[in-house]
Amino acid sequence: MGLARRSRPAPIKAPDPMASRADNLVSNFTLANFSKASDLKQRLWFTIGALIVFRFLSFVPLPGVNPLILETLYDQTRGGILDLFNTFSGGSLERMSLIALGIMPYITASIVVQLAGSLHPALMALKKEGETGRKKLNQYTRYGTVFLTALQGWFLAAGLESYAAQSGLAAVVLPGMMFRIGAVISLVGGTMFLLWIGEQITARGIGNGVSLIIMAGIVAQMPVFIGNLFEGGRSGSISPFTIVALLLAVVVLVLFICFMERAQRRLLIQYPKRASQRGMMQADRSHLPLKINTAGVIPPIFASSLLLLPLTITQFAGNSVSQDTTMGAALVALNQWLRHGSPLYMILYAIGIIFFCFFYTAVVFNPEETAENLKKNGGFIPGIRPGKNTATYLDYVLTRITVVGAAYITIVCVIPEYAIAQTGMTTMFLGGTSLLIVVNVTVDTITQIQSHLLAHQYGDLIKKAKLKGRLR
């Protein structure tokens, strides 16, 4: 790719019998092997059961609200940040259920703690303490989740009362302080219960629990997306050619995301020569993988949240301000400029994604720290002096890689936004952020399933080897 100097090719080594055996095991994965992995089946059933509980909770409404009126109120505020939260919560916000806020407060708190851990000296010291420091940071993240859920729940309950009063639709049966307190307690309990379910999936199931909950919420919107698509084709608002083009675009985007998410730049790391078992001196080599998309799905989430926040505020404030006034006209104009598919929205969205790609990559990857760790372990990049020169080189390579990653995320996120605007669909299932999350979580879960199957295969081989040894 021309991103770094070309190093000398590594010497050809004899084939490793253990590696070839592992390749054979991976290639021989069958349904029979899967049926024998009892531990894996238990983990899969536990994961499915936990996700079913999550879906049931999304249909339990908050005490004191009218679900029928809520649907009408939500339709009047589509296109704002509520759509993003509603997509990630599997429609729970639209129904104002106990888990209306979903797992998003935890995501926000974890991002804040992670950013603070890279900037604050005390939190940076905790990160270096290993498992003890990680538990302490997780505890801070839970405290932040409770605080953010209570704050968002209070404003959500207050906004629901005021907006219902302005529109003339009483979505709250008995508005007042008791309703707000009850709503906050219910929302905090629902979010923390979701967080507990996610931790249980991670410990006793397959995959990352929080990520699987978000993916389940997004996938739950798939029937809505398909229904709106074919309903538009039946009514004539969407042409058959557009429907076929959208389905093909989704397939192409998924394949493209799979390719780019697994793409990485591998830097050759050389270690000093060490004596082998045969008395020969040989040098150890490894690789430092640098992902093309180091920032993950954080840039589009941040960029879309910042852009949709003013739109949501103006939508809530629009009913209380007359359109004949100067402020009312300004709010209407702002809504038109920042609507989905408008040129200004697309430009600001792309700029926000690119900015957060570089910003978050700089936060999560520290070239100086990586260079220092390599120096302590005796490793070095061929042709680059250890220490400061290695840090400069890592920063140079990472910057060039991030350019490619930022361009990739921008293309994946902007094209679906344009498609949504052109077809007039309000669902965000087709959004680039949703596709990124679904593909990443699916690939990670499949990888973990393969790892469990491989471990099961090796366990059977070890048992057979021990049995043969006893027979001899």
Please report the pLDDT score of residue 23 as a whole number.
45
320 and 175 together in one domain: no
- Return the closest-CA partner of residue 54 out of 182, 205, 171, 181: 205
- Per the structure, the count of domains in the chain is 2
Q: Is residue 10 part of a domain?
A: no
> In the chain, which residues have pLDDT < 50?
1-29, 319-323
286 and 353 together in one domain: yes
Q: Three-class SS string for the chain?
A: CCCCCCCCCCCCCCCCHHHHHHHHHHHCCCHHHHHHCHHHHHHHHHHHHHHHHHHHHCCCECCCECHHHHHHHHHCCCCCHHHHHHHHCCCHHHHCECCCCCCHHHHHHHHHHHHHHHHCHHHHHHHCCCHHHHHHHHHHHHHHHHHHHHHHHHHHHHHHHHHHHHHCCCCECCCCHHHHHHHHHHHHHHHHHHHHHHHHHHHHCCCCHHHHHHHHHHHCCHHHHHHHHHHHHHHCCCCHHHHHHHHHHHHHHHHHHHHHHCCEEEEEEEEEEEECCCCCEEEEEEEEEEECCCCCCHHHHHHHHHHHHHHHHHHHHHCCCCCCCHHHHHHHHHHHHCCCCCHHHHHHHHHHHHHHHHHHHHHHCCHHHHHHHHHHCCCECCCCCCCHHHHHHHHHHHHHHHHHHHHHHHHHHHHHHHHHHHHCCCCCCCCHHHHHHHHHHHHHHHHHHHHHHHHHHHHHHHHHHHHHHHHC
265 and 393 together in one domain: yes
194 and 256 together in one domain: no
Please report the pLDDT score of residue 407 as a whole number.
92
Q: Alpha-carbon distance 149 to 143, whole Å?
A: 10
267 and 201 together in one domain: no
Q: Identify the CATH number of the domain in which residue 70 sits.
A: 1.10.3370.10
Q: Is residue 6 part of a domain?
A: no
Q: What are the φ and ψ backbone dihedral angles of 120, each rounded to 5 degrees?
A: -90, 130
Q: Is residue 173 part of a domain?
A: yes
Q: Is residue 5 part of a domain?
A: no
170 and 268 together in one domain: no
Helix pair 432-471, 240-261: axis angle to 10 deg: 50
**Domain boundary pick from 173, 190, 220:** 220
| Structure-derived torsion over alpha carbons of residues 332, 337, 338, 341, reported in degrees to the nearest 10 | 130
Q: Is residue 243 part of a domain?
A: yes
Please report the pLDDT score of residue 366 as a whole number.
82
Find the domain containing 410 and state its range: 237-275+282-456
Q: Render pLDDT for 347-394 as a digit per residue (tens, 0 to 9).
A: 888 898 898 899 888 878 888 888 888 888 788 888 888 888 888 898
pTM of the predicted protein model: 0.74
Q: Render pLDDT for 75-133 as a digit per residue (tens, 0 to 9).
A: 665 555 566 666 666 667 777 788 888 888 888 888 788 778 777 788 778 877 777 88
Q: Is the dihedral of CA 355, 357, 361, 363 positive or negative?
A: positive
148 and 265 together in one domain: no
Q: Contacts from 244-253 at CB under 8 Å and sequence distance 24+?
A: 246/419, 246/423, 246/430, 249/415, 249/416, 249/419, 250/430, 250/435, 253/412, 253/415, 253/416, 253/432, 253/435
Question: Do residues 432 and 415 make contact, with C-beta atoms less than 8 angstroms apart?
Answer: yes
353 and 242 together in one domain: yes
423 and 370 together in one domain: yes
Q: Is residue 245 part of a domain?
A: yes
328 and 181 together in one domain: no
Please report the pLDDT score of residue 200 as a whole number.
92
159 and 109 together in one domain: yes
Q: Is residue 114 part of a domain?
A: yes
Token pair belonging to 163: 């907006």
Question: Do residues 305 and 366 make contact, with C-beta atoms less than 8 angstroms apart?
Answer: no
211 and 242 together in one domain: no
Q: Alpha-carbon distance 100 to 413, whole Å?
A: 25
Q: Is residue 388 part of a domain?
A: yes
